[in-house]
Chain A
Amino acid sequence: MHVPDGFLSPQITIPAYAVWAPLWAWAARRHFGRAAVESLPVIGTLTALAFVIQTIMIPVPGGTSTHLVGVTLLALLYHPLVAFVCESLVLLVQALFFGAGGVTVLGVNALAMGLLGPLAGWLAWKALHRVNGKVAVFVAAYASIQVATLAVAGALGLQHALSPRYFPLPVAVVLPAMLVPSLTAAGLAEGAYTVFALSLLRKANLRGVTLD
């Protein structure tokens, strides 16, 4: 799902950085202050888990693969901005150590996968959690992946419209190619992972881990 370096022009990456950097700093200051010290071990563990599951490729028919994101859990347990800060860290580590994504496109990837996706998931959960808790969590994770995918596809499509030299495929090709695996595989897997991980965390009864 990550947009690699070189696929987006400064016309997109610089405005994305301009939104991402102050928002990240504000979110980190607000949610990772001294008051959060008791939650940090769990948040750190879930961030590490998100990092690991993003490296696991799920093969999809058609010769491609997809992967989970795993930070919806953080959005539901703590706040969408916690997910945003943590996913940004994951993306930075992936860019520096794996060559996945990239530093120039970090703002775009973080806003799509770390902010818009988890925020959509959190809103879906808010709307549904009084009806059925597990269904709400599943739908939240599913929606999170779809919104993140749409955002990444939108950024690539916009880039093609601005300058095909950076990204030669039109949105009519990219959108279905990204959405089909997302709708049929990644979304379902993300939903199952989030429901399963949340039930384990509840059983573990960790301090600071609640989902009201």
Chain B
Amino acid sequence: MTRAGALLAAAIAVLAPVAAGAHEVLHELERDRAISLRAYFADGEVLAYAQYELYSPADPKIPYQKGRTDRSGWLSFVPDVPGKWRVKVVDQTGHGLDLEVDADAALAAPPAQGRSAPAFTTAFVLRPLVGLAAIAAVFGGLVAVYRRKGTRP
């Protein structure tokens, strides 16, 4: 090997890992830093594979993140600034939600342990009863007022 050949071989040996590293995809793993949100209907059915958009408080016009919920209706994001992040989940049938998530509060809270699928809770049963009571109150009140005043105009 000539001197020039030896130098070239040495240069390749030094630079090859760097060149290879330019295309290498690295990763960083952090736990309990992301905020996860699950979208589901009142009866517990999840919005699986629903389209969503996420807006950072730093730029409320251009989505910070776009994608689809997973099979279980979850989406996750890692906030890079504190404040209220806007999440919009859109089902093809026009259902969905549009809400703000407080990144400060979510990051300060301890990670949820063993959280399971949404289930039928007391609120799930009570809320329809509250709704029924409200409708009954409107019509009952109207009848009571009319009966008190007399039905003649």
The answer to whether B149 and A55 touch across the interface, beta carbons within 8 angstroms, is no
Classify chain A's interface size. Answer: 35 or more
The answer to whether B139 and A97 touch across the interface, beta carbons within 8 angstroms, is no
Question: A8 to nearest B CB, angstroms?
Answer: 10
Give the B-binding residues of A (Cβ under 8 A). 1-7, 32-35, 37-38, 40-41, 43-44, 47-48, 51-52, 55-57, 59, 63-66, 89-90, 93-94, 96-100, 152-153, 156, 165, 167-169, 173-174, 177-178, 181
The answer to whether A100 and B42 touch across the interface, beta carbons within 8 angstroms, is yes
Compute how far the CA of A153 lies from the CA of B45 in the bound complex, rounded to whole angstroms.
22
Compute how far the CA of A33 lies from the CA of B143 in the bound complex, rounded to whole angstroms.
10
Q: Which residue of A lies closest to B143 (CB)?
A: A40
Question: Considering the complex, which residues of chain B in the window 111-143 have a beta carbon less than 8 Å from any beta carbon of chain A?
Answer: 127-128, 130-132, 134-136, 138-140, 142-143
Compute how far the CA of A132 lies from the CA of B96 in the bound complex, rounded to whole angstroms.
40
| In the complex with contacts A44-B136, A93-B131, A152-B42 CB distance below 8 A | no
Compute how far the CA of A3 lies from the CA of B45 in the bound complex, rounded to whole angstroms.
18
* Across-interface contacts of A168 in B (CB, < 8 A): 51, 53, 90
The answer to whether B94 and A32 touch across the interface, beta carbons within 8 angstroms, is no
Give the A-binding residues of B (Cβ under 8 A). 41-43, 45, 48-49, 51, 53, 61, 88, 90-98, 127-128, 130-132, 134-136, 138-140, 142-143, 146-147, 149-153
Q: Which residue of B lies closest to A178 (CB)?
A: B93
Q: Which of B88, B131, B138, B146 has the most CB of A within 10 A?
A: B131
* Across-interface contacts of B149 in A (CB, < 8 A): 34
The answer to whether B49 and A48 touch across the interface, beta carbons within 8 angstroms, is no
Q: Which residue of B lies closest to A63 (CB)?
A: B48
The answer to whether A1 and B94 touch across the interface, beta carbons within 8 angstroms, is yes
The answer to whether B142 and A32 touch across the interface, beta carbons within 8 angstroms, is yes
| In the complex with contacts A52-B128, A93-B131, A93-B135, A169-B90 CB distance below 8 A | yes
The answer to whether A37 and B135 touch across the interface, beta carbons within 8 angstroms, is no
20 A–B contacts from the bound complex (CB under 8 Å): A3-B94, A5-B98, A6-B97, A6-B98, A34-B151, A35-B151, A37-B147, A40-B146, A44-B143, A48-B135, A51-B131, A63-B48, A66-B93, A93-B135, A97-B134, A98-B42, A156-B94, A168-B53, A169-B92, A174-B92
